[in-house]
């Protein structure tokens, strides 16, 4: 079993749609959690951290369920510029990345 598993994707959605990504992790001792965004042929960049209480940043909402070892990312009112690959990241002694879920937002 992979340490971090994500929805396989790809997700193709129209502008304005709401889309949700899920991620599960295997190590219950994991300490911190993130979503990174990676544009084609570019380096990953932090989108948002994920806290136990859940957190929101504009159109983006992240949730963490430690009991189920599950992380989610919700994007509301999708924009063309949201098209990218979204990486779920789990940190224990080092960061472990999911394989990523590709999102394409279409006009």
Partner 1 sequence: DAGITQSPRYKITETGRQVTLMCHQTWSHSYMFWYRQDLGHGLRLIYYSAAADITDKGEVPDGYVVSRSKTENFPLTLESATRSQTSVYFCASRAGMGYNEQFFGPGTRLTVL
| Using rule CB under 8 A, residue 22 touches partner 1 | no
Which CB, 100 or 105, lies closer to partner 1?
100
What count of other Cβ atoms lies within 10 Å of the Cβ of residue 96?
A: 17
| Using rule CB under 8 A, residue 104 touches partner 1 | no
SS (H, E, C) the chain: CCCEEECCCCEEEECCCCEEEEEEECCCCCCEEEEEEECCCCCCEEEEEECCCCEEECCEEEEEECCCCEEEEEECCCCHHHCEEEEEEEECCCEEECCCEEEEEEC
Among 75, 98, 103, 105, binds partner 1 (CB under 8 A): 98
Question: At its nearest, how many Å lie between partner 1 and the CB of residue 14?
Answer: 27
| Using rule CB under 8 A, residue 95 touches partner 1 | yes
| Using rule CB under 8 A, residue 93 touches partner 1 | yes
Residues 25-84 touching partner 1, rule: CB under 8 A, are 31-32, 42-46, 49
| Using rule CB under 8 A, residue 94 touches partner 1 | yes
- Using CB under 8 A, list all residues that contact partner 1: 31-32, 42-46, 49, 87, 91, 93-100
């Amino acid at each position: 079993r992979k340490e971090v598993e994500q929805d396989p994707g790809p997700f193709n959605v129209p502008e304005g749609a709401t889309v949700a990504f899920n991620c599960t992790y295997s190590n219950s001792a994991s300490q911190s959690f993130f979503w990174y965004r990676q544009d084609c042929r570019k380096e990953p960049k932090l989108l948002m951290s994920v806290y136990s209480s859940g957190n929101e940043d504009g159109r983006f909402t992240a949730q963490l369920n430690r009991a189920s070892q599950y992380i989610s990312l919700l994007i509301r009112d999708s924009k063309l510029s949201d098209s990218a690959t979204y990486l779920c990241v789990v940190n224990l002694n080092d960061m472990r990345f999911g394989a990523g879920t590709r999102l394409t937002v279409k006009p």
